[in-house]
Amino acid sequence: MAKLRTRKHKVVLNRSVGGDAGITTMLVILGIFMLVPMVYAISQSFKPLDELWIFPPHLYVINPTFRNFKDLFVLMNTSWVPFSRYIFNTVLVTVTGTLGNLLFGSMAAYALSKIMFPGRKWIFTTIRTSLMFHKTCTAVSNFILMSALGMVDSYWALIVPAWGHTLGLYLMKQFMETNVNNSVLESARLDGSSEFKTFWVIAMPMVKPAWLTLIIYCFQDLWNAGSSIYIHSEQLKSFHYAINQIVAGGIKRAGASAAASVIMMIVPVMVFVISQSKIIETMGSSGMKD
Amino acid sequence: MSKTATKAVSRKDMTRAQWTWKEMKKNWVGYAMIAPFIIVFIMFTVAPVLVSIVVSFTDFNMLQVPNFVGVDNYIRLFLDDDIFLIAIKNTFIFAGIVGPSSYLMSYMVAWFINELEPKIRALVTLIFYAPSISGGIYTIFGTLFSGDAYGWANAWLKQLGFITEEINWFEDADYVMPLCIMVSLWCSLGTAFLSFIAGLQGVDRSLYEAGAVDGVRNRWQELWYITLPSMKPQLMFGAIMSITSSFGYGSIVDALCGNPSVDYCAWTITHHLNDYGGSRYEIGYSSAIAVILFGIMIGANKLVKNLISKVGK
């Protein structure tokens, strides 16, 4: 079916040259608005000190240098907890939190949208409504609960709540509804496949585009998590927290700070690029639409 | 689906409770599958939310035993707290502009780039998505619009002769709101945008063929009658994302304008909440703020839901 969507075919289907031109122009203007600050942020990190304070400032670099990055690494080595530990913390929490959310969230989403058990609508309404409640106010009760469970000041305090992240479930449920065909599931059930197997083998591959969205969202959320009220030990703190601590040194560290924001940015962008290419490729060939 | 249809016949012989129990037993696997998520969800979301709602009727401040004070917190908010009224006004201005604009922008961009070749699409998606994925990268606007002569905007406006004195962008009440709105729009093509892209790719292609036969004449008709109705769940998801982020915004203001912003000109409900909950430990009072914000967001959600149900009609 995907074959139908060739360039030639689309022109026949309701497209005008004027419309194409107008849309392209709009995209280009918006794209420039999006790009300029990003380019500026990146070029700041490669500017030598004299260029950082040049008048008027340039968007581009004249003499690119890695000095800011070197300065940043030197600063990193001065911290008494080795920097690799902060990186390990963030990676551990991010990966386990994201995978747990993907697995539990999709499983619950499958059950809520494809298994007709009583109470599912009511449960889903509760889940959706809870998205609107601001986190600051639940922090106190969460803290009390976590200390009762002995989770304060451990990785669990960051990982377990991420598993029940509502947004992941909500996203998966919406995609299960549009992308997963009920008749396919029905025939799998008639063939004697258990619900768990149907979910894993049939439904999950059909919602791959949603995985990407969920993984990216969850990853970025956990990656950017700064200090947390649940963690006091220095050696359990996140990379983001640590990097913010060392670059908060005013003008003297302007270069290192620019380098730090580029490093913080590059990782989620890489995750996005890799998962996008992997998932979108497989999607085209999996024949998810009958 | 056919199973439930056959069950419905025998349903007449049973009471409602009996029937529910039977369905529950038959579909027990459904409960098993939601269990891991639901347990975590109840522990870390439902229970704390309920506790906060109860606490909003007390004067809990972390030090003394809380007393039940009825709706005193709510009365104080609306009658005695001028800053809260500013916060409500600002939140509505902000959410009213950023919410719909970011939603439309996300959808339009996703829809436009959906027609590009896959390789180009991946690149363009990255360009639009990068600002929101990169966490705190929006602080670059602090450098671009820095109040001194080294700020990019000031330097060039001066160089070109538009201004003689540097403008203190983030400390001038006239500029703070527009700038914060601009920055928020800049990093607003986020999760909703991605889910729109994914949703567009899931639209059944044969519907377009059928539509062309049935007399869909241009891309706008195709959008309205075919594409939008086939992705209503994603539209709803995007709406929730826009509502929660536009009503819950605050970190951008803190990073760029400091906390509190000058004359409270960008002070929002979230700031007020964090101020009382996080700094003053007046948990009862801040819970009341959270409950009000909760109510506003549920209202906005209802409104958007009604709008989305009209799509394609």
Q: Which residue of A has its CA nearest to B290?
A: A134
Interchain proximity A164–B151, CB inside 8 Å: no
CA distance A285 to chain B (A): 13
Q: Crossing angle for the helix pair A120-130 and A83-114, nearest 10 degrees?
A: 140
Task: Please report the residues numbered 178 through 237 in chain A whose beta carbons come closer than 8 angstroms to any beta carbon of chain B.
Answer: 178-179, 182, 186, 194-196, 199, 209-210, 212-213, 216-217, 220, 223-224
The whole-number pLDDT of residue A108 equals 92
Confidence (pLDDT) at A287: 39
Could you tell me if the ipTM is greater than 0.90? no
- One-letter amino acid at A8 equals K
What is the chain B residue with the closest CA to A165? B41
Counting one residue from chain A and one from chain B, the pairs whose CB atoms sit within 8 A come to 307
Interface of A with B in 11-30 (CB under 8 A): 12-16, 19, 23, 26-27, 30
Query: Could you tell me which residues are beta bridge partners of residue B58?
Result: B68
Instruction: Please give the Cα distance from B98 to B242 (Å, whole number).
Output: 8
The average pLDDT across A210-237 equals 79
| B100: closest CA of chain A, how far (Å) | 17
pLDDT band at A288 (very low <50, low <70, confident <90, very high): very low
Interface of B with A in 232-251 (CB under 8 A): 233-234, 236-237, 240-241, 243-244, 248
- pLDDT, residue A34, reads 87
The answer, as to whether pTM is greater than 0.95, is: no
User: pLDDT at position A278, please?
Assistant: 66
pLDDT interval class at A282 (50, 70, 90) = very low
Best to test chain B binding among A43, A47, A133, A253 (most B CBs inside 10 Å): A133
Asked if the C-beta of A177 comes within 8 angstroms of chain B's C-beta atoms, the answer is yes
User: For residue A3, is pLDDT > 60?
Assistant: no
* Residue A9 pLDDT exceeds 70: no
Domain ranges of chain B: 80-309
Q: What is the mean pLDDT of each run of 10 residues along chain B (313 residues)?
A: 49 77 83 90 89 88 83 88 89 90 91 82 86 78 77 79 77 82 86 83 80 80 85 86 82 76 80 82 86 90 89 76
Query: CA-nearest residue of chain B to A134?
Result: B290
The whole-number pLDDT of residue B183 equals 87
Give residue B5's pLDDT. 47
pLDDT at A152 exceeding the cut of 50: yes
Q: Do B37 and A27 touch (CB under 8 A)?
A: no
Q: A38 vs B130: CB contact, 8 Å cut-off?
A: yes
Measured between beta carbons, the chain B residues lying within 8 angstroms of A16 are 218-219
Q: With helix as H, strand as E and coil as C, how does chain B read?
A: CHHHHHHHHHHHHCCHHHHHHHHHHHCHHHHHHHHHHHHHHHHHHHHHHHHHHHHCCECCCCCCCCCECCCHHHHHHHHHCHHHHHHHHHHHHHHHHHHHHHHHHHHHHHHHHCCCCHHHHHHHHHHHHHHHHCHHHHHHHHHHCCCCCCCHHHHHHHHCCCCCCCCCHHHCHHHHHHHHHHHHHHCCCCHHHHHHHHHHHCCCHHHHHHHHHCCCCCHHHHHHHHHHHHCHHHHHHHHHHHHHHHHCCCHHHHHHHCCCCHHHCCCCHHHHHHHHHHHCCCHHHHHHHHHHHHHHHHHHHHHHHHHHHCCCC
A125/B contact by beta carbon, under 8 A: no
When comparing pLDDT for A19 and B106, which is higher?
B106
- Domains in chain A: ranges and CATH: 15-65 (no CATH), 78-285 (1.10.3720.10)
| Cβ separation B36–A104 shorter than 8 A | yes
- Asked if the Cβ–Cβ distance from B44 to A269 is below 8 Å, we say no
Class of domain B80-309: mainly alpha
- How far A82 CA lies from chain B's nearest CA (Å)? 24
Position A283 confidence tier, pLDDT thresholds 50, 70, 90: very low
B89 touching A, CB under 8 A?
no
Confidence of residue A286 (pLDDT cuts 50, 70, 90): very low
